Chains A and B, each alone.
Chain A
Amino acid sequence: MSDYLWDKTGEPDADVERLERLLARFRHRPAPRAARPRRWVLALAAALPLVAALLLWRAPGTRGPTYEVTGVAGLERVGVGDWIEVGEERASVRIADIGGVDLEPRSRVRVDEIRLAHGGRREEHRLYLARGGLRASIFAAERVFGTSTPAGFSVDLGCIYTVEVDEHGTTRIAVETGRVAFGFGGAGEPRREVFVPSGASITCRKDGRPTPPIKDGAADAFVALIGRIHGGSATPADLEAALAAEERDDWLPLFELMNDLAIDRDVRGRIFDRFPAGFERPSTVTREGILAADPGQRQLWLDAIKHWWW
């Protein structure tokens, strides 16, 4: 027998090759490599001192629980309301016993909340990123950790993601593993969420609405189509081209566009009507409910199909 089955060397086995191709759709999707080399994570890990105490630590004389900070001169711990001003080197913050956040140089971050929630059964953590970038590695239940920015609020539904905020407050979120819910809207408008699974990213201007989540591997032409639909400049031909999408990942941005009240109702209706039957829709989710941007309807449908986009 060839060694192909063992280590993929030698004469390829046609059966094995066919099975590989066929079953690849079920493969665990690894995090797409970030543009920045990921080795820095390990380098950072190597540089961090080993710390035995993981749990929240109340420093004597402070007003509550604090996080340990590494890499910022003169700052070892921060509590609610404290700012972290990162210098020219990366810094990191240990978030209780659920993970950590690595901060890019010149980032500005505030600890917004460390609170007991759900009747005191769990602790929730909220940071505010005013400027710069962070990479959160969180292993905790959904929505335990969140980061707000001038443009919105992201809650962690999984493990590892980055948030970047530029000088105008524009936010970019890219999810490496797991998934994130990005909330936006506020005074005078309904608060809404966009689902950002692993390998996808969104951008949101301050006081704006986010672009729909698009997977890293999407074709440039498709991304341009989505941009025109999102911006309200799409022609009927553009919409038709987008609705001809054959990749399941391409239906992720279309799903969120369908739920975006800023998009023309007819366009959203056409997306609904053309949504592939394979994305099973719960019987209680209706066309009217989706076109009314009912958050409960959106969530029901999303819960039924989101696994296809992890």
Chain B
Amino acid sequence: MREPTPEPGAPPEERLLVERARAGDRPAFAALYERYASTVHGVLLARVPPEEARDLVQEVFLVALRALDTLADAGRVGAWLCAIARNKVRDHYKGRRPALELGEVSEPADPGAGVASPDEGEEARAVLSLLRELPEAYRETLAMRLVEDLTGPEIALRTGMTQGSVRVNLHRGMKLLRERLERLGWRGALS
């Protein structure tokens, strides 16, 4: 699913941003944050409940800021940030009950559920929970596509994966997700 050789990485202007951020240019780092925050959030959301993902995005970028000097290839900043995000989740759950591995998502009630549409809030949480039980590569890619609204080519560009890998992950992941939703009688699934 994940291929070792990525397609050409970040465009030149992005490499320049990385170089500038590395030299201490904080607006450049802020620009990287703006560009990659949703990607990082997608990686996190594929593993942890939404409210924890929001917190962890900030922490991932704090780690990245301090570790920018260790980034070997400025063209691979997206893949590097995703790796930091995955490590961050591992650290986050170190010593804690691995709730996600068990597929038991303990999220607080959705305020939206209490305010506007309780059924849809419940349904959204259930679907997200199912998504998080998919194999890692599928759930990350699908979280970026379905939650973060990135297209396949954007996911490839931002994660360093090949377009072929992303396409495969999306379609296989979506197929699995559909099957699991249908098994649960999800009313939105088309059979």
Residues of A that sit less than 8 Å from B by CB: 1, 5-8, 14-16, 18-20, 22-28, 30-31, 38, 41-42, 44-45, 48, 50-54, 92, 94-95, 97, 99-100, 102, 137-141, 158-160, 177-178, 245-248, 251, 276-280, 304-305, 307-308, 310
Contact = CB atoms under 8 A, between A and B. Distances in A.
A28 B115 contact: no
A139 B110 contact: no
A99 B57 CA distance: 17
Given A178-B58, A251-B111, A307-B55, A94 B26 contact: yes
A44 B26 CA distance: 11
A102 B109 CA distance: 39
Contacts of A138: 26
A145 to B, nearest CB: 11
A54 B146 contact: no
B3 interface: no
Contacts of B53: 26, 28
A41 B32 CA distance: 12
Contacts of A100: 25-27
Interface string B132-144: 0000000000000
Interface in B114-131: 114-116, 120-121, 123-124, 127-128, 131
B29 interface: yes
Given A6-B170, A54-B24, A280-B108, A18 B188 contact: yes
A184 B79 CA distance: 43
Interface string B2-36: 00000000000000010110011111111101100
Contacts of A16: 146, 174
Contact of A50 (B23, B34, B110): B23
Given A6-B152, A277-B114, 14 more contacts: A1-B171, A6-B170, A24-B147, A25-B112, A27-B147, A28-B38, A28-B42, A30-B34, A52-B24, A92-B27, A139-B33, A251-B115, A278-B115, A279-B111
Contacts of A160: 30, 33
Contacts of B167: 6
Contacts of A248: 111-112, 115-116
Nearest to B21: A45
A99 to B, nearest CB: 4
B112 A27 contact: no
B77 interface: no
B24 A20 contact: no
A7 B116 CA distance: 31
Nearest to B34: A31
A187 to B, nearest CB: 35
Contact of B148 (A8, A27, A44, A280): A27
